[in-house]
Chains A and B, each alone.
Chain A
Amino acid sequence: MTPALELRGITKRFPGVLANDAIDMTVRTGEIHAVVGENGAGKTTLMSILFGLFPADAGEIRVRGEPVRFSSALDAIRAGLGMVHQAFRLFPTLTVADNVVFREEPTRRGLVNRSESIRQVGDVAERYGLAVDPSAVIETLPVGVLQRVEILKALYRDAQILILDEPTAVLTPQERDKLFEVIRRLRDTGRTILFITHKLGEVMSLSDRVTVLRDGRSVADLITADTDPEEIARHMTGRDVDLDRRAPAHQPGEAVLEVSRLSATGEHGRSAFREASFEVRSGEIVGIAGIAGNGQNELIETVAGLRPPDGGSISLNGADITNAEVSTRRSAGMAYVPEDRHGVGTSHRASVWANLLVGHQRDPAFQRKGWFNLSAIRDHARSLIKTYGIRSGPIGAPVSTLSGGNLQKVVVAREMSHGAPLLIAEQPTRGLDIAAIEFIHDRLVRFRDGGGAVLMVSAELSEILALSSRILVMFDGRIVADLDPSKVTEAGLGLYMTGAREDGPDG
């Protein structure tokens, strides 16, 4: 039988990086095919090439045996491909049906026939068991439903090959289980699913076959039933999996950050997290694990002063900062690497030096009576660029000219350069390549060894396990466990993260 999809020798070079190096992959019709690899292994690049978002430098794509050449996503859609991106691409103020039929609207006498589009979208949703109300407005819907809308968009265009790019990152466990049901049902109707992930549990429970990418190459093509997580992980990392690679134990010192019974409200007026109590001591890294959307982000925002608390208290080096301004927290010794490095951690139209300065624009080293010492600011920026190996053009150029890894280095360099005793690092390595990840991990460990206190949130369990001195697990807005990383496995963490186990913050 002709494979649904064949990739032969796909190669893509970005400035300084060989993102895809002669990748071969065969996807059989009617299978769920997982594509796994660490961040920076080339998964997203490969899928973008497959979906026509940018051209490969070399190589060939065949769909059902036919060589194809996509110059845009429209070509890919026409060839029967559908992609569900990590960041949803939906019009927030329009209805589900409007979003699904966009550019393919059913018309009557040249006008959009909305009742027809609602009927058609409802039909498609029902046929595949996707519970979605076609007339609901997008911005009122939870994330899990939005993902179904994205899947509906592909199915409405009769996509035979569906690409899902890390679809579970934003889902709750229940939503994830529903998604898996939908994916299996789609396979049973003869569709082909490409499932991109770096979570081994999902690979094992869902996929029929696995392609492993590492450093831009496809290093293994395995049948899921014949393999095990250790083998996949070995292929992903290129070495025997050392799940016990722990940062050496360190004697923690005094408590730097003390959070007591803290609660806050999230978007839409719902409680984001409740009664969170913990402390971070000097010389330790406290990792917060949890599936995205269980209150970690709101907790960090509240500690950082970007979200008002409903109750509880926060103190930094003994001083109460529960309701302090961000500037007060910063001068009291808080540094913060935020999750959203594009929207919060940097300002893309501002210059490199302006981005390296923020938070310290009122430090006496950089200004006197409100007048900038421009040469001190420039020297500081240049020395950070040098120390942290940031590849950038002139320091007056907008920071938008930097790559993702260099952008994150800008944030990390800025936050670590002022000797603040507390560093909050939220998803510090998300989306970075392996070299940048190692660099940042190394910096975090050095910061800890220098007596710094680190509060880290990460969706990467391997990162949490490798760096943390203690692990807090959040589920449904509560801290459900406080664990010693030497006595817990990834699977054990998973039980807490999905709410299957809990022993309370002091358990």
Chain B
Amino acid sequence: MAEQVTAQRSPLASRVGAALSHPVVFSLVLAFALGWLIVYLTGRDPGFAYSEMLNGAVTGSGLRNTLGRAVPIIGMALAVSVAFRSGVINLGGEGQMVVGGLAGALVAIYTPGPGELVIPLAMLAGGVAGAAWAMLPAFGQTRLRLPILITSLLLNYVARAITGYLVRFHFLDDSVTLTSTRQVPEMARMPRLPIFGGVSLSLALVIVLVAAAWVVYGRTVSGYETQMAGLNGRFARYGGIQVERQTVGVMVVAGAIGGIIGTHMIIGDAYRFIDGELVVSGLAWTGLLVALLAANHPLMILVAGFLFSGLQIGGLAMQRNADVSWRLSQVLQALVIVAVASRLTFGWFKRQRTAPSEGELEPAAVGEV
């Protein structure tokens, strides 16, 4: 019966149906539909709210802000996806970003010299610090069998505490009421590109990193080996891939990217390391959501990263102009992820009308026994 229905549909309708059967597309449509309903129920005009959100995200200074915010979101998504794709559950992006950010900031603030020298040096320091911080949970797993999932997450709080202590008691800027370092000198700040109203050079850096990841996964032995480990660890070990050693390598790369992004947030955005600022922004977690939405695919991370960045920036404009709280953006992000995570598709709803499948009858096979 279903076949007849398909046959009678117009080409456009069946193309829309095909798109909707893709889980990501369906999740986006579902989230925006539910968001529409939420705005409608509060008595505001959903169409106006969405159009203000779109305008705010892509017109005027909105575009620059969207691209600017996309830098840390895409960067942190890339960091988390590098780990996830290799089967390493690194939830320590935030800590790696904070530790790297402070290291990069201190180098930028206290190293005399021209920007051409200090900026790469600061990035390097941030990357090294982030990588070093990420090695703690990596060795915890390979040497002590402590799951990275847990240690990397908990070390986020330790990173926040240590950096907070260092800022407060060793590098405090007394001239402001914030718990903050001094400002990054003009010369050591990340330059801006003369496009889109002056986006940070870091945007180019992030795009290069994403492209590099794409090439590594498609064309190199390391990319192959890490992906094999992520898909099936026993198969990878059987194939001679040294999964333990690789775990450390993957965490070093993920931590380095996190540290570089942390450094960018200081020398390219805030210009001072304020205790807690990088945590409150929730960037590492937005990055995690983007990686989930993009299924860890580097190019999809670019797309999803710009989308979420636009949602956040557009949400602020929507709040100003349409009197709908910017929290709606967070609700939309959450709805997309919940829908993606539950693998909802258009087809899922169709299936519910037919008999349950056989797989639901019995508990999953234990397999090993």
Contacts and interface: CB of A to CB of B under 8 A. Distances in A.
A326 B365 contact: no
Interface stretch (B13-21, B98-106, B225-233): B225-233
B327 interface: no
A326 B364 CA distance: 31
B242 A327 contact: yes
A15 interface: no
Given A88-B366, A89-B364, A325-B240, A370 B235 contact: no
B121 to A, nearest CB: 28
A146 B367 CA distance: 12
B176 interface: no
Interface in A25-76: 53-54, 71-74
B317 to A, nearest CB: 41
A180 interface: no
A92 B366 CA distance: 7
Contacts of A338: 238
A92 B227 CA distance: 29
Interface string A327-368: 101100000101010011111111000100111011000010
B235 A345 contact: yes
Contacts of A349: 231-232
B221 A87 contact: no
B3 interface: no
A224 B280 CA distance: 77
A278 interface: no
A325 B365 contact: no
Interface in B234-258: 234-242
Contacts of A99: 363
Contacts of A54: 358
B220 A371 contact: yes
Contact of B219 (A85, A354, A371): A371
B361 interface: yes
A354 B238 contact: no
Contacts of B363: 89-91, 99, 102
B369 interface: yes
Given A72-B358, A350-B231, A371-B220, A358 B237 contact: no
Interface in A296-338: 304, 306, 325-327, 329-330, 336, 338
B222 interface: yes
B366 A90 contact: yes
Interface size class of A (residues with CB under 8 A): 35 or more
A349 B222 CA distance: 18
B2 interface: no
B235 A346 contact: yes
A124 interface: no
Given A306-B238, A336-B238, A354 B366 contact: no
A361 B361 contact: no
A349 B366 CA distance: 20
A89 B369 contact: no
A91 B234 CA distance: 22
A374 B219 contact: yes
B297 to A, nearest CB: 14
A138 interface: yes
B242 A325 contact: yes
A156 interface: no
Contact of A89 (B231, B238, B362): B362
B365 A73 contact: no
A372 interface: yes
A459 interface: no
Nearest to A349: B231
B41 interface: no
B226 to A, nearest CB: 11
B240 A89 contact: no
Contact of A344 (B234, B356, B365): B234
A71 B220 contact: no
Chain A contact residues: over half helix, strand or loop, or mixed? loop
Given A90-B363, A370-B221, A358 B238 contact: yes
A88 B231 contact: no
Contacts of A71: 355
B234 A370 contact: no
Interface string B310-329: 00000000000000000000
B165 interface: no
Contacts of A348: 232
Interface in B194-235: 219-222, 224-225, 227-228, 231-232, 234-235
Given A89-B363, A327-B240, A330-B240, A357 B234 contact: no
B220 A347 contact: no
Interface in B319-365: 355-356, 358, 361-365
Contact of B221 (A88, A306, A367): A367
A372 B220 contact: yes
A88 to B, nearest CB: 5
Interface string A117-158: 000000000000000000000100001001000000000000
Contact of A343 (B234, B239, B366, B369): B234
Given A87-B365, A87-B367, A372-B221, A359 B232 contact: no
Contact of B238 (A72, A92, A345): A345
Contacts of A346: 235
Contacts of B366: 87-92, 138, 146
Contacts of A88: 365-366, 369
Contacts of B356: 72
A453 B231 CA distance: 32
Contacts of B219: 371-372, 374
B364 to A, nearest CB: 7
Nearest to A330: B240
Contacts of A85: 365
B240 A354 contact: no
B239 A326 contact: yes
B230 to A, nearest CB: 9
Given A326-B237, A359-B239, A343 B232 contact: yes
Contacts of A371: 219-221
Contacts of B238: 304, 306, 326, 336, 338, 344-345, 358-359
A370 B220 contact: yes
Interface string A370-402: 111010000000000000000000000000000
Interface of A: 53-54, 71-74, 85, 87-92, 99, 102, 138, 143, 146, 170, 304, 306, 325-327, 329-330, 336, 338, 340, 343-350, 354, 357-359, 361-362, 367, 370-372, 374
A-B interface, 10 closest residue pairs, ranked by CB to CB distance from nearest: A327-B240, A358-B239, A347-B232, A326-B240, A347-B235, A359-B239, A347-B231, A87-B365, A89-B365, A344-B234
29 contacts: A88-B366, A91-B366, A99-B363, A146-B366, A170-B369, A304-B238, A306-B237, A325-B242, A326-B240, A327-B241, A330-B240, A338-B238, A344-B234, A347-B228, A347-B232, A350-B232, A350-B235, A354-B224, A357-B224, A358-B235, A358-B236, A358-B239, A358-B241, A359-B239, A361-B225, A367-B220, A370-B220, A371-B221, A372-B219
Given A358-B238, A371-B221, A372-B219, 13 more contacts: A72-B358, A73-B362, A99-B363, A343-B232, A345-B235, A348-B232, A350-B232, A357-B224, A358-B236, A358-B240, A359-B239, A370-B222, A371-B219
